[in-house]
Amino acid sequence: MNSLTQDAALHGSAVGLTADTITFRGGQPLKGRIEVRGAKNLVTKAMVAALLGETPSLLKAVPNISDVRVVSGLLEIHGVRIKRDDASGDLHLDPSNVESAHMAEINAHAGSSRIPILFCGPLLHRLGEAFIPDLGGCRIGDRPIDFHLEVLRNFGAVIEKLPDGIRMSAPDGLSGAKIQLPYPSVGATEQVLLTAVRATGRTELRNAAIEPEIMDLINILQKMGASISVDADRVIRIEGVDRLEGYRHRAIFDRNEAASWASAALVTKGDIFVAGARQAEMLTFLNVFRKVGGAFEIEEDGIRFYHPGGDLKPVVIETDVHPGFMTDWQQPLVVALTQAHGVSIVHETVYEQRFGFVDALVDMGATVQLHRECLGSEHCRFGQRNFLHSAVISGPTKLHGADIEVPDLRGGFSHLIAALAADGVSRVSNVGIIARGYENFIQKLHDLGADFTVES
Ligand code: EPU
């Protein structure tokens, strides 16, 4: 019997924005249908892109997550008028009165997200200056912004570091540049796109990230009037234009959320239909999911993920930039690997500290060892740098209930599903972080038959 009442489900804690701790009684398979809407990692950037248009934009399928609220707040203090319809997910953004924000207002957003760094190019074009507060985001590594700053300098921005953030100006305007990224960074590629589209002349970006969310941002910018081509071998060329219009666009679905629910189905021996999920953007994930022993059926309106019975199998995977196995898919899958028969290896090559969540799994009975060495076919950037970035998981191990604290967004989701698979009662605290990227996750758990109680 589910102890979240319907009433509570329809209020704040249901979307996860006010919940702090959830007590789970594990052992129920998750079964049913949930829907994923627009990708967190596209929607927040698409909102920033609206700053570049002379006319209003309409973004569809925007999820109700706290990262969207943070970016809305930042846009509003810069004069963008925002109207949101929660039911449809339509977000109207009117940038006709973009203005400089007060330092104190900007600083109120310090530490809450990494998106402010992407405001630089658009604000420099619109206002000639930008102030960026100290950045937040998940604590999964150092997360420097050196690539971003170098990119902006290449376009002609003048950067001044202040005690509480960074001030930028563009006294001579911004001009197209030839840029080669040291690593195909998602954020730095977006920085180039959002700056180059209105810079004077041509920009050539080499070693660009080509994640589907970046391709969708390019779709949006093209709708606005930008001229962008994507060539073979991670080369993107942009021809700057004088004026961009607003856009109307339906955001690409959240493939990270879809992969998380897929792992939840596997871990709990369940059966979840993820409406809105599509095959093309999940190809690499689906291959691994099947190798581990999961089954899926691709339908026109979504993907059914389920545990077909039998033993789960161990795998060896390395996370990588697209089209590789995404770093954001790793954490929920590791929970499934604790139930596989044999030894699995996960080599994390994108972030140096993305195994913070495994301590809790070990407390719950999992056997996971972390290593500093690159346990994969590739030597990655972290190999000689003393980071515990390879995991060896031996299974199957019975998981038992424990008191655990959510460390970050994806690690947090993996804690939820570990608690759901464990024998006995688990208290998972700090679950508010999960609402940064998982829309209505508490309501969805309820709809899938999880047995839990929420404390605010
Ligand atoms: N990096 C630098 N310098 C920089 C920028 C990045 O060294 O200036 C390094 C990072 O430290 C990291 C690597 O480059 O080791 C890749 O970082 P990237 O810039 O690609 O990541 P990001 O743009 O900060 C986005 C997503 C992440 C996702 C990564 C990889 C958003 C808001 N975040 O981060 O999503 O894991 O790309 O695909 O789009 C999440 O959703 O939980 C999440 C962390």
282 and 229 assigned to the same domain: no
Cβ(75)–Cβ(49) below 8 Å: no
170 and 295 assigned to the same domain: no
The answer to whether position 436 is within a domain reads yes
Looking at residue 19, its pLDDT comes to: 75
Ligand 1 in contact with 148 (CB < 6 A)? Answer: yes
211 and 347 assigned to the same domain: no
Q: How many helices (H) and strands (E) does the chain have?
A: 15, 23
Q: Catalytic site residue 380?
A: no
Ligand 1 in contact with 354 (CB < 6 A)? Answer: no
Ligand 1 in contact with 434 (CB < 6 A)? Answer: no
CATH assignment at residue 195: 3.65.10.10
pLDDT in tens, the chain (456 residues): 344 443 344 344 444 556 799 999 999 999 999 999 999 999 999 999 999 999 999 999 999 999 999 999 999 999 999 999 989 999 999 999 998 888 778 777 766 678 889 999 999 999 999 988 777 666 656 678 999 999 999 999 999 988 878 899 998 999 999 999 999 999 999 999 999 999 999 999 999 999 999 999 999 999 999 999 999 999 999 999 999 999 999 999 999 999 999 999 999 999 999 999 999 999 999 999 999 999 999 999 999 999 999 999 999 999 999 999 999 999 999 999 999 999 999 999 999 999 999 999 999 999 999 999 999 887 899 987 889 999 999 999 999 999 999 999 999 999 999 999 999 999 999 999 999 999 999 999 999 999 999 987
Cβ(53)–Cβ(47) below 8 Å: no
d(CA 207, CA 95): 32
448 and 429 assigned to the same domain: yes
Q: Which of 232, 250, 268 is the last residue of a domain?
A: 250
Q: What separation in Å is there between the alpha carbon of 144 and the centre of ligand 1?
A: 9
| Listed residue (413, 396, 395, 394) closest to 404, CA to CA | 413
Ligand 1 in contact with 381 (CB < 6 A)? Answer: no
From the CA of 41, give the closest atom in ligand 1. Answer: 39
d(CA 320, CA 234): 14
d(CA 447, CA 456): 20
On whether 316 is known to bind a ligand per the annotation, the reply is no
Q: How many structural domains compose the chain?
A: 2
Q: What separation in Å is there between the alpha carbon of 386 and the centre of ligand 1?
A: 20
223 and 347 assigned to the same domain: no
29 and 72 assigned to the same domain: no
83 and 198 assigned to the same domain: yes
d(CA 344, CA 313): 9
Ligand 1 in contact with 443 (CB < 6 A)? Answer: no
Give the residue whose CA is nearest to atom 14 of ligand 1.
185
359 and 420 assigned to the same domain: yes
Question: pTM to 2 decimals?
Answer: 0.95
Pocket test of ligand 1: the residue of 114, 185, 382, 389 to mutate, having most ligand atoms within 8 Å of its CB, is 185
The answer to whether position 354 is within a domain reads yes
Ligand 1 in contact with 380 (CB < 6 A)? Answer: no
Looking at residue 5, its pLDDT comes to: 40
The answer to whether position 3 is within a domain reads no
Going from the C-alpha of 169 to that of each of 106, 172, 187, 335, the distances in angstroms are: 16, 9, 20, 47
Residues spanned by the domain of 382: 8-36+253-455
On whether 304 is known to bind a ligand per the annotation, the reply is no
On whether 40 is known to bind a ligand per the annotation, the reply is yes
